Amino acid sequence: MLSLVVMAAGIGSRYGGSKQSDAMGPDGEILLDYAVYDALAAGFDSLVLVIAPGMENSFGQSVKGRYKGRLAVSLAVQKMDDLPQGFAAPANRKKPWGTGHAVLAARNFVKGPFCVINADDYYGQAAYKKMADFLAGADSGASPSPYAMVGFDLINTLSENGAVSRGVCVADGSGCLASIEEHEKIAARNDGQILCEDCSGNPKSLSKDAVVSLNFWGFMPDVFEGLNKNFAAFLLKNASNSSAEFYLPFAVDSMIKQGQARVTVLKSPDRWVGVTYKQDSKTVSEHLARLARQGLYPRPLWQGNG
């Protein structure tokens, strides 16, 4: 069984609303519809939706009904007090603990290889096919654990409506992930240059074909043990910080450096689109409509009982 774990608990402060439930497709489809459609075509048969408390009876139940008869759907609630033993959330904490914690929330619903994505991103069909092929062929008993990520060319991930942050990936000679460095305020200039700031705030330029991570990961179930250990280490430093977040890429990077994981970098040729800003929804809608006109998706997407 291949599971798709979708992180849908984020607040979306820059977007200004619930990105997960906004209609984006030409026939009212939400972005999750395209993720499920592409995952099903690639061979995934289980969906675990990670949601925030309070979403179970609204968005969660809507999703269960939406995909009834297509694949198994489980709801995993990302609770702020779901912490390793000995830790407690600060009283003034208002947001989830980040993407690493979101994946941990799915631990009781995943029994085999699985893929992790964001609910508010469109990744394209190639990413799911590449990941499904990798997970189906990986040796779950290997050491270090065989994980994977799908990377995209930076130029295919920029927003026309503001600067973005991206994790720029460095691969070793065997095509495995060596490191991820976060870059902020990435934007393309009129002359074609792509400028940004590195993690120290220093300005620099980036190549158009730099491979970046958009949180498209493939794991074996043993990743939960590694995440839990790294989360505990994170909390030792940040438990009282009301805004600190435990990011999934940083946890994976730590597992690589500790010799616990080997992450194959799979590259997608597709354009990624997402809704960081409210204005991005128009770009996403236009892109999905164009793909439908090209015959890559039927209209409506869920024909029959969808």
Domains and their CATH numbers in the chain = 3-293 (3.90.550.10)
- Give the per-residue pLDDT at 19: 60
- Give the per-residue pLDDT at 20: 65
Q: Is there a contact between 129 and 20 (Cβ–Cβ < 8 Å)?
A: no
Cα separation, 91 vs 95, whole angstroms: 11
Tokens of 126: 């190639």
- What is the residue-level pLDDT of the chain in tens, covering all 306 positions? 899 999 998 644 333 345 667 899 999 999 999 999 999 999 999 999 999 998 888 888 888 989 999 999 999 999 999 999 899 888 888 888 999 999 999 999 999 999 999 998 999 999 999 999 999 999 989 999 999 999 999 999 998 888 999 999 999 999 999 988 888 899 998 888 999 987 778 888 999 999 999 999 999 999 999 999 999 999 999 988 888 999 999 899 999 999 999 999 999 999 999 987 888 899 999 999 999 999 999 999 987 544
Cα separation, 44 vs 40, whole angstroms: 5
List Cα–Cα distances, 118 to 31, 141, 156, 253, in angstroms: 10, 27, 17, 19
- Give the per-residue pLDDT at 83: 93
Partnered with residue 30 across adjacent β-strands are none
Question: Residue 110 burial (CB < 10 Å; 0-12/13-18/19+)?
Answer: buried
- Give the per-residue pLDDT at 18: 58
The residue among 41, 27, 96, 101 whose CA lies nearest residue 71 is 41
- Give the per-residue pLDDT at 13: 38
* Long-range contacts (CB closer than 8 Å, 24 or more residues apart) made by 194-198: 194/154, 194/155, 194/158, 196/163, 196/166
- Give the per-residue pLDDT at 95: 81
| Cα Rg, the chain, nearest whole Å | 19
